[in-house]
Structure 1
Amino acid sequence: MRKQGYEGRYGKRYTERKNRRKKVRIQRITLLGTAVLTACLIAVGGTRIRAAMEERRLLEVRNESFVGAPPFDVELLDVNEYSRPGIPLEQINGIVIHYTANPGSTAQNNRDYFEGLKDSHETKVSSHFVVGIEGEIVQCIPSSEIAYASNSRNSDTLSIECCHIDETGEFTEATYTSLVRLTGWLCYRFNLTSEDVIRHYDVTGKICPKYYVDHPDAWEQFKADVGEQIKVVEQEVLAGEGE
């Protein structure tokens, strides 16, 4: 048998070392990829938590609380020029009620549409809150920042978009109940009255929210219900202070 020479042995060792180094590089790349993926998942999973903490921090700065508030999810949009410009809302003089004009959509659908505008650049629009067909509430923008919702009143109002099931724009009972509770709480929180609650129609003449433009008597009843809810919130706050 022919003995392997020096060059043959050296070549074999060189190849083995090369293969080992390649294997180590692959392992390192795999570990790095896993670490990056894990970090991304943690970041995405933590977004909602950070959003909720941000809004709660803003409340604490103002020495306010969630007493009297309906349940709502804080899912703040990323700051971007198309739906959350990050411009401070220096004063709040009113609350503007809207309807989505997109029958059957959910609160989450509309929130996600606002979020997607940072990439699509389709238009500039958003809302502080969205109330869904089943009464769910999603907050999209902190109450300390403006939303692109109410034209000339963006600078001094909060906005609430409401979902609806058909072209009439009438809200479900669950939507209506949550809207009254949310609006009443916001009025109490920012020292507003039911007369400070207006329709988008009252700002620009746009038929929004449609049902309450077509039925002004129903709008007056809504404001009366908000007025009663403000009293309810006030009593809950006072009861909490007495404990």
Structure 2
Amino acid sequence: MKIIEKYLTPNEYSRPGTKLKPIKAIVLHWLASPHGTGNGVYNWFESRKDGNNGYGSAHFCVEMDGDIYQYLPQDEMAYHVGSETYTAYGLSLSSYPNNCTIGIEMSHLDWEGQMTEETWTKSVALAGALIQEYGLDVEDITTHNAVVGWKDCPRWFFNHPSELLRFKKDVKRYLMYGNIVIATGDVNVRETPGGEWMKVLREGEKTQQVGILDGWNKIKFPGTSEDEYGYVSGDYLA
């Protein structure tokens, strides 16, 4: 899974640099702007750095063509579920759920919030990789509305609850059958993201993705006595 990293400038209003507590949920959002783009979302979040447009940001955006943008490191807090009031579910996460959640913005076709197949498929894969990374369950994938109670976000899931159930079923299916990746060239496998080299994954070799951390794909491969794990750049996987 390839991630386009476009990090926001550190600032009080969209990238405060606050470290996240242990992750408890992955929160889905819509852009509330049909045909929005990853660059457009970046520009909107970045425009807040001087305090003129309030607080707001998210960790990821999945475009209509399936490209995935990342705006914050995964260990930093985003302002994506801030509210004066929270649902009982939101408060079960934290008194301030921004501090323990990852936010995914999803592009959409229209004001109903309907997504392209590419947005849906890549959002499923991203959510699946994140719950693997943090040891969560599919039921820990939630919505902005479920956390705050007063926003119809994502609108498609708000108006079509069965579609959220389908999304979660697709994540389960992805985790069972769809998270196989293929090396598009010889690629170094590292112990940690950007860390020491441990082995080479050869071109054409298949492996299983079991997580994602700041653009580095966590993979599982056969070891000498048990399965081993390492990180590779998403630029070299298909």
TM over 0.5: yes
Identity %: 35
Q: 1:56 matched to which residue of 2?
A: none
Tell whether the 8 Å contact from 1:183 to 1:226 is kept in structure 2 after alignment: yes
Q: 1:104 matched to which residue of 2?
A: 35
- 1:123 corresponds to 2:51: no
Q: 2:105 matched to which residue of 1?
A: 161
Distance 2:35 2:29 in 1: 15
- 1:141 corresponds to 2:72: yes
**2:35 aligned counterpart, secondary structure:** coil
Pairwise CA distance, 1:163: 1.1
Distance 1:135 1:113 in 2: 20
Letter in 1 for 2:166: Q
- 1:79 corresponds to 2:23: no
Distance change (3 Å), C-alpha of 1:75 and 1:202: same
Distance change (3 Å), C-alpha of 1:100 and 1:114: same
Letter in 1 for 2:41: N
Q: 2:163 matched to which residue of 1?
A: 218
Letter in 2 for 1:212: F
Tell whether the 8 Å contact from 1:99 to 1:161 is kept in structure 2 after alignment: yes
Residue deviations 1:126-172, cap 9 Å, x none?
00001111111100011101100012310111000111121110111
Tell whether the 8 Å contact from 2:129 to 2:209 is kept in structure 1 after alignment: no
**2:103 aligned counterpart, secondary structure:** strand
Distance 2:141 2:43 in 1: 26
**1:96 aligned counterpart, secondary structure:** strand
Letter in 1 for 2:157: Y
Aligned residue runs from structure 1 range 1-243, under 5 A: 70-119=1-50, 121-151=52-82, 152-205=96-149, 206-231=151-176, 232-233=178-179, 236-237=208-209, 240-242=220-222
Residue deviations 1:10-47, cap 9 Å, x none?
xxxxxxxxxxxxxxxxxxxxxxxxxxxxxxxxxxxxxx
Letter in 2 for 1:196: D
- Larger radius of gyration, structure 1 or 2? 1
Pairwise CA distance, 1:74: 0.9
Distance 1:150 1:233 in 2: 29
Select the structure that is richer in strand: 2
Distance 1:169 1:233 in 2: 26
TM-score, scaled relative to structure 2: 0.69
Letter in 2 for 1:182: L
Distance 2:54 2:118 in 1: 30
**1:236 aligned counterpart, secondary structure:** strand
Alignment gaps of 5+ in structure 2: 83-95, 181-206, 211-218, 224-238
Distance 1:125 1:138 in 2: 16
Residue deviations 1:94-122, cap 9 Å, x none?
10000010112211110121112113521
**1:133 aligned counterpart, secondary structure:** coil
**2:174 aligned counterpart, secondary structure:** helix
Pairwise CA distance, 1:204: 1.1
Deviates more, 1:119-128 or 1:81-90: 119-128
Pairwise CA distance, 1:217: 0.6
Tell whether the 8 Å contact from 2:47 to 2:53 is kept in structure 1 after alignment: no
Tell me how large the CA RMSD over aligned residues is. Answer: 1.7
TM-score, scaled relative to structure 1: 0.68
Alignment gaps of 5+ in structure 1: 1-69
Distance 1:240 1:227 in 2: 18
Pairwise CA distance, 1:230: 2.5
Distance 1:166 1:102 in 2: 8
